[in-house]
Amino acid sequence: MDLYGPLLAKALFPAFEAARGRPTVPLLRYLKTTERWSLEALRDLQIGLLRRLLRHAYTHTTHYREVMDNAGMRPEDIESVEDLHRLPLLDRDTVRATMNDRLAAAPPKFVIKKSTSGTTGEPVVVKYNAESRHWRDATRWRGYGWGGYHVGMRALHYWGFGPRPESWIKRNKITIDRMFKRDLYVDCTPRGDEPLRAAIAQLRRFQPQVIVAYSAGAAALARFITENKLRTWDTIPVLVGAERLWPQDRDAIEEAFGPAFETYGCREVMLMASECEAHAGMHTSMETLVVEVVMRNADGTTRSAKPGETGEVVVTDLHNLACPMIRYLTGDLAVAHPAEVCACGRSLQKVGPIEGRTVETLRDGRGNAVGGMVFNILFGVMDQVVKKFQVVQKLDGSVVMKVVPQTGDKLPETNRKAIQAFADKYLPGAPFKIEYVADIPLTAAGKRKVVVVERPS
């Protein structure tokens, strides 16, 4: 009998969060109520939070006062989400250039600073206040709950690993936190037979009740299990993210493990949308974010994508007052859905599938597959030393990382060594070098490919 799971869920976790001043549990209870509200009630809640954000941004930030003045509008002019189309989109270049001008002069101040993982090849730094952090945590637990993952469950995280923290204290803090929460992290990046068998061995020992994984990583592991007839466990739900979940990958995961649930998020705002038991698109986190799917007009203005249209994903964090990001372009494309009640009974607006996150597979010096997301993980902890990057694997197997430094014409030596060490670890035997360039052009489709694998013509 599993006694620790219920104890963790009902007593230890709530007490631990409360002791750290985090209202995760009461916020989660609230979100489980609001998800059943009508769409009209959810829209009213969004507009109230949006007006608060815009009032704060207009009054206390230089950037948004200028933006709204130029648009000829005031925070109180917002009557619906459609009114956001009067404001310009916030791209990555503007995020970098306006960091200081977007910092609010009045509380709440930012308490968290993160560098994004750079899935578009352009990492950025984001800052946010404690309120935003608390809502992010609660939103994640709610979205994961739709896929069957609840506090107290043994969870195998088949995910990517960044460099180890240099601090002994921080390393041990992470270890203790994972043991307390029953989390086992296994590196999904190496895709050769040996690491796949090692991952399965850990799965059998740990006996997870749920798996959280990169989409492509889970699919690769699932196919290896099925092809080699290695399944020895009952149904395990699998929550996937970071890359699009293709139909064939969903089939492979469900054959090897159990039902698959797609999630969509980014480090700038964390979880944006999650799939429910109806498996018909992903519900957005309307109480914490405004997630738009937009089309650009010829005159530079935008409109909402119609149901079935594929548009650009634009997000506004309703609770980040410290350094607002209003109408932020994620760099992803998504299919818009009609505003209707889902078969699951929730009215939360849906999006999906998400497009634009597919990353090609690299090969190490022995020909073993390596997930292309590996360098995105690295740049997620590099704290804004790189403006743009792209990884190219040549026909001869060598790997070139093209880099546009944030400042100067080269990276600091410590960062260069960290990248080289990362390449040595994940691409052993593959010749690797860093090439400094002035720019990395977009493709004909207007996208920047983070990973390019050259193939014979």
d(CA 264, CA 266): 7
pLDDT score of 380 more than 70: no
At 94-118, the pLDDT tens digits run 998 999 999 999 999 999 998 775 5
Q: Which domains does the chain have, with CATH numbers?
A: 16-135+265-355 (3.40.50.12780), 148-258 (3.40.50), 362-453 (3.30.300.30)
d(CA 377, CA 172): 21
Q: Which residues pair with 238 in a beta bridge?
A: 211, 260
Interval 224-232 mean pLDDT = 97
One DSSP character per residue, 16-59 reads: HHHHTT--HHHHHHHHHHHTTS-HHHHHHHHHHHHHHHHHHHHH
> What burial letters (b/e) apply to 56-86, b meaning 16+ CB within 10 Å?
bbbebbebbeebbeeeebebeebeebeebbe
d(CA 172, CA 149): 25
Question: Quick one: pLDDT at residue 152?
Answer: 95
pLDDT score of 445 more than 80: no
| Contact yes or no for 432/424 (Cβ under 8 A) | yes
3-state secondary structure of 258: coil
Hey, how many other C-beta atoms are within 10 angstroms of the C-beta on 309? 14
Name the amino acid, one letter, at 115: S
pLDDT score of 54 more than 70: yes
| Contact yes or no for 323/104 (Cβ under 8 A) | yes
At 67-94, the pLDDT tens digits run 999 999 999 999 999 999 999 999 988 9
Question: Quick one: pLDDT at residue 117?
Answer: 58
> pLDDT averaged over the chain?
91
d(CA 221, CA 108): 44
Q: How far is CA 427 from CA 16, 216, 244, 364, 399, in A?
A: 40, 18, 24, 4, 9
> Which residue from 378, 377, 358, 372 is spatially nearest to 243, judged by alpha carbons?
358
d(CA 15, CA 1): 23
Burial of 143 per CB tally in 10 Å (0-12, 13-18, 19+): buried
| Contact yes or no for 439/347 (Cβ under 8 A) | no
Question: Quick one: pLDDT at residue 375?
Answer: 76
Question: Quick one: pLDDT at residue 179?
Answer: 92
Separate counts of helices (H) and strands (E) for the chain: 14, 20
pLDDT score of 406 more than 90: no
pLDDT score of 119 more than 70: no
pLDDT score of 443 more than 80: no
pLDDT score of 123 more than 80: no
d(CA 189, CA 216): 10
Under DSSP, the state recorded for 120 is T
d(CA 109, CA 103): 8
Under DSSP, the state recorded for 441 is -
State both tokens at 355. 């497009």
At 334-372, the pLDDT tens digits run 999 999 999 999 999 999 888 765 567 788 898 887 877
- Of residues 70 and 446, which shows the higher confidence score? 70
Indicate the length of the chain as a whole number. 457
At 126-135, the pLDDT tens digits run 999 999 999 9
Distance from first CA to last CA of the chain, Å, rounded? 59
Hey, how many other C-beta atoms are within 10 angstroms of the C-beta on 17? 20
Residues 243/244/247/251 CA torsion (nearest 10 deg): 30
Interval 251-265 mean pLDDT = 96
**What phi and psi, each to the nearest 5 degrees, are found at residue 14?**
-60, -40
| Contact yes or no for 178/172 (Cβ under 8 A) | no
